[in-house]
Amino acid sequence: MTLHPLALFVFLPANLVWAISRYRRRHPDAIGSGQGARMGAMMGLLSFAFFLAFFLVTIFFQHAQYRDIMIAQIHQISAQNPDPQAQQMLQWFTTPDGLITFTGIALVTILLICLALGTGSGAAAIALGKNRKRP
């Protein structure tokens, strides 16, 4: 939570490469890209689970601050969009039900990003590591 959100694009693949290299040391059998992708997807799911736990605790203790920040951001986006239908939809997101929906959409998006990043990183780590000789 203290890191920039883009740190996910650095730390998740780096931790995945580290985990796969440790796995290879203990299991000398060849690992396929599919297995690497599954390992990455699992790591992405675990990363999202830890993110969700910290997010929910933060929201529980700082609900009013979260609501104020999100409403300010929604108003800022609404002011930049000239489409009246988009402004009406964005105004609905400032209601309690709309804010819950907006937060749910954001969490599903973060889950999909974690899964895609983990799956891709796992498959790439295996594919790029095939040419290296293992100790």
In this structure, are residues 91 and 79 in contact, taking their beta carbons and an 8 Å threshold?
no
HEC string of 52-101 equals HHHHHHHHHHCHHHHHHHHHHHHHHHHHHCCCHHHHHHHHHCCCHHHHHH
Does the pLDDT of residue 1 top 50, yes or no? no
Question: 31 or 106: which carries more pLDDT confidence?
Answer: 106
pTM for the model:
0.78
pLDDT of residue 2: 52
pLDDT at 4: 63
Helix count (H) and strand count (E) of the chain?
A: 5, 0
Q: How confident is the model at residue 98 (pLDDT cuts 50, 70, 90)?
A: very high
Determine the distance from the C-alpha atom of residue 95 to the mean position of all C-alpha atoms in its chain, rounded to a whole number. 25
pLDDT digits over 11-41, tens only? 777 877 788 778 778 877 777 888 888 988 9
* pLDDT reported for residue 3: 56
State percent of the chain over pLDDT 90. Answer: 26
How high is the pLDDT of residue 115? 92
Q: What pLDDT, in 10s, does the model give residues 33-74?
A: 888 889 889 988 988 898 899 889 989 999 999 999 999 998
* 112-124 pLDDT per residue, tens: 998 998 898 888 8
Task: Tell me the one-letter amino acid at 70.
Answer: M
